[in-house]
Structure 1
Amino acid sequence: MTDETLPMREWTVYATAAAAGVELLHARFLRHVYERHVHDAYCLGVTEWGVQAFHCRGAGHASSAGMVMAFNPDEPHDGHAADAQGFAYRMLYVDPGAVRRVLEDAYERPVGLPFARAPLLVDARLAGLVARTHRAFAAGDGLAAEGWLAETVADLATRHAAGSASLPRPGNNPAGLRRARDHLHASLEQPVTADDLASVAGMSRFHLARQFRTAFGLPPHAYLLHLRLMEARRRLAAGVPPADVAAGLAFTDQSHLHKRFKGAYGITPGQYARASIRRGA
C-alpha cells in the first residue's frame, strides 16, 4: 500500500541523526498550517505528492511532486496544503557546521557557507539525492547516509547557490582505492564509517566516494552491501537462521536484511534458506 492509498489522515515521522548534524521529517498534511517561522539549519525538502504552498522571500510558491524546497538558515517561511488532497514530503534539517564540513572535505580547503539562490527548485537530480539521503538516515545506514548527504550538499552548493564554483578534480589514487576496497572486504561484520574509509585510503571522504564509484562501479556503501548480501547467501545456505545472519553482518535488524535481500534477489532470506535446504537434501 502506498501513501496515496492510505486513509485521509495526517501523520508525521521525526528522527535525528545527531552525530551527523541532521534531523529528519517525513509527513503528510491535510489541514495543518505552518506559521511563519525560521530554522537555524539548512532545510532541504522534496515533495513526494500533492502540492505544498508556502511564502518565502516576499513571494508565494507551490511545490508539487519532485520539486525541492531549499531554505537557508534563519530564512522565514510558512507552509500549508494547496488543496484538500494535502501533500506528503521529506525534509532534511542540516546543521550549518555539517554543511561546512562536507564542503571543506570536497574542496579540501576552508570555504564559506552556501546561500541557496531560490527557495523552490525544479531539479530531478537534487530531488533524488534529498530523498536518498533521508531514506538512508531513516534506515540507520550511516555509510550510505554520509555519502548521500555529501552529494546533496555539494550539488546544492555547486549548482544552486550564490557564487557557485565547480569542485576540484582530485588526483588519481589507485593504491588508496585498493586499500579502501580491501577494508570493506574485511569489514563485513562491523559498521564502517566514511571517516574510517577515508583514513584507510588517505583521501577526503567526498573524493574517495566519487573515485571509488568510478573504479569499482558502485559507491562504497553499495559495494559493502553487495559483499554482505553475498555472504548472507552463503550463511543462509549453511543453515544459519536469518536473524543471526542479520546480526552477524551488521544489518540494522532482520527486517533490514529482509528488505535488502529481496530487493537484490527477488526472494526473502527465508525462501532462499528453504530452497537451499531442499537442494542439499
Structure 2
Amino acid sequence: MHAHFFQHVYHPHSHDAYSFGITEAGAQRFSCRGGAHISGAGMVMAFNPDDAHDGRAAADLGYQYRIVHIGPDLVRDVLADATEGRGAMPLFAQPALHDPELRTALLRLHTALVGEADPLVRDERLTATVTAMVRRSATRPLRAPEPAQGGRTRTAARRARALLDEAYAEQIPAQRLAEAAGCSRFALYRAFHTEYGMSPSDCQRLLRLRRARRLLAGGSSAADAAAASGFTDQSHFHRWFVRCFGVTPGAYRKAHLS
C-alpha cells in the first residue's frame, strides 16, 4: 500500500501478518502495545502479527507512507536457515524506529513489488528486508552464518549460474534457482555473491544485457534486442545498458553498423 492521508483515522485493528512501513512525509500518531507512538518522515514502523493499533495524522500536512504486509509463513521460509532454532519467529519490540538501513531496504522492496520487477529481484529484496529487520530490530537475533565450505559453496553457486546462463531471459523465481543449486535461498545468496561478486538478479540482468549487445551489433533494433533478451520495459533496458556499458543502445548499434 502507498497512501497519503489528511483526515483519515484508523479504527483500532490488527493484521495476521508482519507489517513493515515507512513514513515518507508528515507524521502519524498511533497507539500500540499500550503506548503512544509517533512515526515522522524517514522513520520505519514494525508491527508483529495481531499487534492492535490505530492511526491518525500528527501534522497539518497529514502523512504519506508505504507499507508491506508479509505473512508469517513467508517470513519463516526466508529465515529457515538463518534464525536460532527451526520455527523460531522474530518479534519486534519497538513499533517506530529511526534506521536508515531498514528504510532503504523497505523502499527497495516496495518499489520492486509495485514496479513488477522480476521474481528474482523481488525475492532477493524480500530476503534483504526481512533479514535486515530481524538483525537490527528483533528481540530474537539471527544466528551467525556457519563458516562457508568452499567446495559446497562453489558448487551451489555454479549450479545456479548454469541455470541463469541457460534461462536468463525467463522469469526465474528464487526457489527454482535454489532448487537447482541444492540449497536454501538464503544460503544461495551468500554462496553466489562469494563466487561471483554479485547477486543472482544482478547476474541475470548482466546476461540479458550481453545478449542484447550482441543482437544490437548484429543489426537488431533496440526494442527487438530488449524483448529478445528478456527485458519487458524499454526504459529499464535503456537505463541499465547505459549504466553498464557507458553508451546508449542506439549509439552502440550505430557504431557497429557504420
Bin of the TM-score, shorter chain as denominator length = 0.7 to 0.9
Partner of 1:51: 27
What is the CA deviation profile of residues 106-153 of structure 1, one whole-angstrom value per residue up to 9, with x for unaligned ones?
Answer: 349622221111101222211111111111222222101111111222
1:23-172 paired onto structure 2 within 5 Å: 25-107=1-83, 110-140=86-116, 141-172=118-149
User: 1:252 pairs with 228, 232, 251, which one?
Assistant: 232
Count residues with an aligned counterpart: 254
Deviates more, 1:255-264 or 1:176-185: 255-264
| Cα distance change, pair 89–242 in 1 and its aligned pair in 2 (3 A) | farther
Change (3 A) 1:64 1:215: farther
Measured in 2, the distance between the counterparts of 1:165 and 1:48 equals 28
RMSD (Å), alpha carbons: 2.4
1:203 Cα deviation from its structure 2 partner: 1.7
**CA shift at 1:41, angstroms?**
0.8
Q: Give the structure 2 partner of residue 22 of structure 1.
A: none
For residues 212-244 of structure 1, give each alpha carbon's deviation from its aligned partner in whole angstroms, at most 9, with x where no partner exists.
223322111112112212322332343323333
Give the TM-score normalised by structure 2. 0.87
1:88-116 deviation per Cα after TM superposition (whole angstroms, max 9, x unaligned): 22211001111111111434962222111
1:254 is displaced (CA, Å) by: 2.9
Distance in 1 between residues matched to 2:16 and 2:162, nearest whole Å: 40
Compared CA separation, residues 41 and 280, structure 1 to 2 (3 A): same
Is 1:202 the counterpart of 2:178 in the alignment?
no
Which residue in the other structure is 2:208 paired with? 228
Shift of 1:179: 2.0
Return the match for 1:193 from 173, 179, 183: 173
Task: Return 5+ residue gaps in structure 2 as ranges.
Answer: none
Structure 1 partner of 2:218? 238
Distance 1:159 1:165 in 2: 9
Change (3 A) 1:260 1:112: same
Q: CA deviation at 1:199?
A: 1.6
TM-score, length-normalised on structure 1? 0.80
**Which range is displaced more, 57-66 or 255-264?**
255-264
- What percent of counterpart residues are identical? 42
Contact 1:158 1:166 in 2 (8 A): no
Cα displacement (A) at 1:43: 0.3
Gaps of 5+ in 1: 1-24
